[in-house]
């Protein structure tokens, strides 16, 4: 697992002592492994055109593209929004998303309040399951949420994809039966989000006082 570079400079992140929201852009297509995933789940012959990175924290594979809306938060342990309740941290982020999506979409917006759900084999890809804080529109997943916790704080990552996660399937060494159905999810287009930057600005407002940093990940 150590042979896969980290997505972020996590050691630097741990030294940040103010709440920060990150508006993230990836410069090239980047396949991101969950913290405990092995690259052995991937077909090595299918990765030539992609950057491969690892995030710290749970969850499955995520394919990040430059058009995705990726918003992350670092909440230091001394901040009022920090909680030692793992689920509550993700649910809080999900509620921020739900608040801004209520005004942006016409369908019902809900936040998954329970634990991790979905067939374990299918959860090799992040959007094939559902976890605490993830946001659904009309019953279909719209926002994926993961987190990484250390003594200095918690880092919560979230994304609305610009396109289908089915593009991950040809990259897998073995494609689990039924995963195509589980990977149905909303995109920015299906949600009718024409201005992702506007949505990110509203998220910054509703999530409370924090620094705003624009990050470009070069893969």
Sort strands 30-33 and 51-54 into parallel, antiparallel or unpaired.
parallel
pLDDT at 180: 95
pLDDT at position 219 is 63
> What rounded mean pLDDT belongs to the chain?
95
Task: Give CA angle at 120 (69, 71), nearest 5°.
Answer: 15
With 0-12 / 13-18 / 19 or more C-beta atoms within 10 angstroms meaning exposed / middle / buried, residue 95 is middle
Cα 71 to chain centroid, rounded: 8
* The pLDDT of residue 191 is above 90: yes
Q: Residue range 153-180: average pLDDT?
A: 97
CA distance to 141, 161, 169, per residue, from 185 (Å): 5, 9, 15
Angle at the Cα of 83 from the Cα atoms of 127 and 144, rounded to 5 degrees: 10
Give tens-digit pLDDT for 62-82: 999 999 999 999 999 999 999
For residues 165-195, one letter each, b for 16 or more C-beta atoms within 10 angstroms of the residue's C-beta and e for the rest, the string is: beebbebbeeebeebeebbebbbbebbebee
Mean pLDDT of 120-126: 93
16 has a pLDDT exceeding 80: yes
**What pLDDT digit, counting tens, does each position of 18-32 carry?**
999 999 999 999 999
Q: What is the pLDDT of residue 1?
A: 44
Indicate the class that CATH gives domain 10-217: alpha beta
The structural domains of the chain, with segments of one domain joined by +, span: 10-217
User: For the residues 171-185, what does the mean pLDDT come to?
Assistant: 95
What sign for the dihedral angle of Cα 49, 10, 73, 112? positive
């Amino acid at each position: 697992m150590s042979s896969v570079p980290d997505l972020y400079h996590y050691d630097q992140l741990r030294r940040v002592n103010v709440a920060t929201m990150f508006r993230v852009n990836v410069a090239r297509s980047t396949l991101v492994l969950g913290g405990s995933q092995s690259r052995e789940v991937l077909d090595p012959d299918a990765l030539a055109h992609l950057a491969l990175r690892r995030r710290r924290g749970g969850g499955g594979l995520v394919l990040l593209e430059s058009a995705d809306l990726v918003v992350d938060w670092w909440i230091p342990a001394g901040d009022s929004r920090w909680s030692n309740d793992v689920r509550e941290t993700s649910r809080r982020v999900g509620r921020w998303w739900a608040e801004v999506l209520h005004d942006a979409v016409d369908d019902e917006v809900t936040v998954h309040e329970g634990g991790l759900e979905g067939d374990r084999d299918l959860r090799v890809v992040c959007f094939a399951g559902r976890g605490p804080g993830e946001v659904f529109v009309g019953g279909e997943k719209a926002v994926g949420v993961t987190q990484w916790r250390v003594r200095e704080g918690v880092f919560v990552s979230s994304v609305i994809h610009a396109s289908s996660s089915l593009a991950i399937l040809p990259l897998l060494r073995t494609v689990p039966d039924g995963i195509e159905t589980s990977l149905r999810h909303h995109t920015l287009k299906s949600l009718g989000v024409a201005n992702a930057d506007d949505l990110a600005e509203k998220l910054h407002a509703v999530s409370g006082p924090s620094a705003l940093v624009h990050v470009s990940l070069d893969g």
